[in-house]
Homo-oligomer: A and B are copies of this chain.
């Protein structure tokens, strides 16, 4: 059930059998949440974190004027609000983009991990730092990449992250976002997202139909994006 999570961790460091047991033991419960439901509310005091077992979720910031910015996408294996363990409350919502299955991990059990498993603590600390690295890359896209390049970069990132959890086949994977939500990731309007998508399709780089994304020319896509996966920290090291 937490295979994707373990795969993600073990991509970057060794996790001992004892640590794996500690992780499994930290889960108190499992839940299902419908699409468009709020997984983690903004602002409220939280006493547990949420591990995404299956489905897609997003960190969402709603603005006073009705606009929204998605600051990160989450897929199976991601601890969508591990940072709430030290922050105690979130500055954003986490929303389910599809029906999701999640595991609940009480903060008291995370706290116990920090008392008893220093290495596992560092591994989870690393995981939140990886989220921050993804945020920085998105800032680069939002600030300095053209709309087309930003979209290409997002697709390159997702291909790697999904590949780690075994959800990519021949550079193809499920991509359940509507164009409107894709636009919310990239800080543009849905209309413009649509046009950029057409550009990428027209250039023979991708195909995206019925929520399946196929990368037809990975090298070309990475070139358009100016993509460098260094920020995903794909090397296995003692943390």
Contact = CB atoms under 8 A, between A and B. Distances in A.
Name A's interface SS.
helix
Contacts of A64: 226
How many A residues are at the interface, by size bracket?
A: 35 or more
**Of listed A125, A142, A187, A230, residue having the most chain B CB within 10 A:** A125
Interface stretch (A81-89, A95-103, A166-174, A210-218): A81-89
Interface string A27-68: 000000000000000010000000000000001010111011
A68 B145 CA distance: 10
Contact of A140 (B63, B85, B129, B233): B63
B128 A129 contact: yes
A135 interface: yes
Tallying the copies of this chain within the complex gives 2
Contacts of A192: none
A88 B129 CA distance: 11
Interface of A: 43, 59, 61, 63-65, 67-69, 71, 83, 85-88, 91-92, 111, 114-115, 118, 121-123, 125-126, 128-133, 135-140, 142-145, 186-187, 226, 230-231, 233, 237, 239
21 contacts: A43-B230, A59-B136, A61-B140, A63-B145, A68-B144, A69-B139, A69-B144, A83-B132, A85-B122, A86-B129, A87-B130, A91-B136, A91-B137, A91-B230, A91-B231, A111-B122, A114-B118, A125-B125, A132-B132, A135-B139, A142-B143
